[in-house]
Amino acid sequence: MARTSGWTALRAQGRRVPAALAGQRSSGTRHPLVAVAMVLPLAVLLFVVFGGWEAVLTQASSVAGMLGR
C-alpha cells in the first residue's frame, strides 16, 4: 500500500488543511498600499542610481522631439 503524507490523510478524513501549510497559494488580490510598500524602495533606488529628474527630463524631451513638438 502506498504511503500518504499527513496532510493527505487529514484531507481524506474531511479535515481542512491551511492553504499555506498545504503548499497552495491564495488567489486573493493584494491591497494597493501593500503593493506600493513593496515597489517604493526599488523605485527610490532606481531613481537615485539613474540620475533622478535629469533622466526623466532627458527622456521626456527626446519623446517630445520624436513626436515633433
Phi, psi of 37 (to 5 degrees): -65, -30
Which range of 1-5, 45-49, 54-58, 62-66 scores highest in mean pLDDT? It is 62-66
pLDDT (mean) for 21-28: 64
pLDDT (mean) for 50-66: 85
**Whole-number Å distance between alpha carbons of 36 and 29:** 14
Chain-centroid distance of CA 65 in Å reads: 35
**Whole-number Å distance between alpha carbons of 54 and 10:** 60
Which pLDDT band, with edges at 50, 70 and 90, does 3 fall under?
low
* Sequence ranges of the domains in the chain: 6-67
